């Protein structure tokens, strides 16, 4: 299983050092990707874990103040990158077209994109979940070879940071829909996953892994969760 830890905008220098010390004590057969704040990417020393970024620029290089390119990420051994997280779509007005350009940049430098997709609550209530996801996937992956190893993370917007979570069968239904379009891609679930509800989620064998937000900040909780999915 693949487990992605999205630290978001958390930790400062000293607290991050302590966090890494604890995280590095965890041994697991699962593939773990840590996505810390960009400021920590270049000198974090990870044991048995991979390094991911939370975002990337859609531009290769040049006059783009504040941005970090895929080429720069590759130069510091970043292997994975989250793209299209709902917080970026919402707070930074990122469009599917922007995300498509970002994915193309990442693939150019052999960084595996982790593409987030998911419906809002009203879209679910109006039975639009599958059509929203199909539309997002089509637009974000436009002109990208289906053989490319893009990882998809199904993240219902209403489940992120809320403790509200779809049932396993609701998640399965969406994953089947994603795998119909992309049969060879790994599909993760993200949104209020905890060391408690993971047992139930893990009963479905369609989920290839999980993306963790809040829980990622607590190594003890991450350890427990990883033990549940070994």
Closest of 170, 194, 185, 189 to residue 140, by C-alpha: 185
The span from the CA of 1 to the CA of 208, in Å, is: 6
Among 103, 111, 151, 193, binds ligand PEP (CB under 6 A): 193
Rounded least distance, CB 141 to ligand PEP, Å: 19
* H-type alpha helices, 1-143: 13-23, 38-41, 70-75, 86-91, 96-108, 121-125, 129-140
115 touches ligand PEP by CB under 6 A: no
| 85 in catalytic set | yes
- Residue 160 interacting with ligand PEP (CB under 6 A): yes
**Residue 94 CB contacts under 8 Å (≥ 6 apart), including other chains:** 84, 88
The verdict on 74 binding ligand PEP (CB under 6 A) reads: no
Nearest approach, Cβ of residue 218 and ligand PEP (Å): 11
Q: Does 54 bind ligand PEP (CB under 6 A)?
A: no
Spatial separation of the C-alpha atoms in residues 112 and 97, rounded to whole Å: 18
Among 114, 192, 207, 222, binds ligand PEP (CB under 6 A): 192
The span from the CA of 154 to the CA of 188, in Å, is 6
Which residue's CB comes closest to ligand PEP? 213
By CB under 6 A, is residue 155 in contact with ligand PEP? yes
Cα separation, 79 vs 111, whole angstroms: 5
Q: Report residue 222 as tokens.
A: 């991450």
In the residue annotation, 196 being an active-site residue is answered as: no
Out of 36, 52, 166, 213, point to the residue binding ligand PEP (CB under 6 A): 213
Judged by CB under 6 A, which of 35, 78, 211, 222 binds ligand PEP?
211
Binding status of residue 51 toward ligand PEP by CB under 6 A: no
Q: Rule CB under 6 A: say whether 191 interacts with ligand PEP.
A: yes
Among 161, 168, 206, 223, the residue binding ligand PEP under the rule CB under 6 A is 161
Whole-angstrom CA distances from 74 to 34, 71, 80, 134, 189 are: 15, 5, 9, 30, 26
60 within 8 A of 71, measured Cβ to Cβ: yes
Q: Is 190 in the site for ligand PEP (CB under 6 A)?
A: yes
Residues annotated as catalytic (active site), given as ranges: 85, 155
Contact residues toward ligand PEP (CB under 6 A) are 6, 155, 160-161, 190-193, 211-215
């Amino acid at each position: 299983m693949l487990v992605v830890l999205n630290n978001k905008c958390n930790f400062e220098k000293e607290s991050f050092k302590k966090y890494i010390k604890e995280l590095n004590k965890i041994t697991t057969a699962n593939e773990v990707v840590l996505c810390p704040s960009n400021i920590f990417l270049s000198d974090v020393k990870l044991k048995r874990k991979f390094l991911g970024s939370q975002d990337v620029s859609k531009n290769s290089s040049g006059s783009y103040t504040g941005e970090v390119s895929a080429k720069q990420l590759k130069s510091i051994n970043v292997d994975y990158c989250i793209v299209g997280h709902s917080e970026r779509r919402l707070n930074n007005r990122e469009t599917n077209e922007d995300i498509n350009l970002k994915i193309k940049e990442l693939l150019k430098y052999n960084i595996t994109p982790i593409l987030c997709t998911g419906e809002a609550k009203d879209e679910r209530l109006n039975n639009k979940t599958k059509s929203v996801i199909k539309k997002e996937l089509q637009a974000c992956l436009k002109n990208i070879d289906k053989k490319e190893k893009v990882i998809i993370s199904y993240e219902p917007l209403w489940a992120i940071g809320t403790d509200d979570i779809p049932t396993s069968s609701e998640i399965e239904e969406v994953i089947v829909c994603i795998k119909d379009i992309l049969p060879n891609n790994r599909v993760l679930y993200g949104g209020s996953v905890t060391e408690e509800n993971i047992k139930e989620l893990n009963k479905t064998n369609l989920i290839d892994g999980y993306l963790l937000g809040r829980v990622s900040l607590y190594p003890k909780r991450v350890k427990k969760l990883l033990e549940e999915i070994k």
